[in-house]
Amino acid sequence: MGGHLTNPAFSPSCKQMSDTAPLLVFDLDGTLAETAGDLTNTLNVILAREGLAPITLDEARKMVGAGARALIQRGFAAEGRSIEGSKLDQLFADFLAHYEDHIADVSHLFEGVTQALDRFEAAGFAFAVCTNKVEVPSKKLLKALGIDHRFRAICGQDTFQENGRNIAKPDPRMLLMTIDMAGGMPAHAIMVGDSKTDIDTAKAAGIPVVAVDFGYTDQHVRHFDPDIVIGHFDHLWDAVAHIRLTGASRS
């Protein structure tokens, strides 16, 4: 990989815990949970402070997915402005502070998530989250939604670093390191996401990918060539079964 990879929460014992249990690795925003409302409300608080017009929910749904910094930059770009450097750092900190105080005002799990997790867990599957959301609010959101305990690992854009820089999707190492942290194996893992970023990450990591079509993207996910597209979590069981039966793989 090159460079020095770090993760404060990572323990080498995770490798010793590896087993052949199949692992489903989920994106968070737009995949497990409908979060656009709280993200949009927080973005609009930041934009209002800067004298900019608010972003509509429909507009925001096309901006979400690359993390809060990118969301802020896209919000500014919608008004013909750019933002970088220390100013972006400050607004990013302000965004996180406000967002964490309103983490689940209107956010909720997509229909069928809990039932799908129940079914897969009963069949011996394990779960992890690999998101470009920052780790702390990711864990806080999943706790507020009542499912944080179901994941062996919850990894955000700041979970892994190389030479002081975050390793985030679409870098395939983020997905592979999430699998490792969860005690899983790439050969027994499947990614579930809602965007080009998720699909590109899985492809580069050699991991099959199921795409949901109700998430946050400016184009339909079928254009990005996932292994399977589903429109409801009720369909995830059959999608995963098909991938495992056919041996679909990006390796």
Contact 128, 139 (CB under 8 A): no
Q: Is residue 27 flagged as an active site residue?
A: yes
Give 94's pLDDT tier (boundaries 50, 70, 90).
Answer: very high
Q: Which of 27, 29, 194, 227 is catalytic?
A: 27
In a domain, 22, yes or no: yes
The one-character DSSP state at 53 is P
The residue segments making up the domain with residue 87 are: 36-101
Sheet holding 5-6, edge to edge: 5-6, 161-162, 165-166
Q: Determine which helix (DSSP H) or strand (DSSP E) holds 57, and give its type and residue range.
A: helix 57-61
Contact 222, 104 (CB under 8 A): no
- The structure's pTM equals 0.87
Asked if residue 114 and residue 77 are part of one domain, the reply reads no
pLDDT tens digits, one per residue of 176-202: 999 999 999 999 999 999 999 999 999
pLDDT tens digits, one per residue of 116-172: 999 999 999 999 999 999 999 999 999 999 999 999 999 999 999 999 999 999 999
Q: Pick from 45, 43, 36: which is nearest to 69 by CA?
A: 43
Asked if residue 180 and residue 64 are part of one domain, the reply reads no
Q: How many domains does the chain have?
A: 2
Asked if residue 61 and residue 182 are part of one domain, the reply reads no
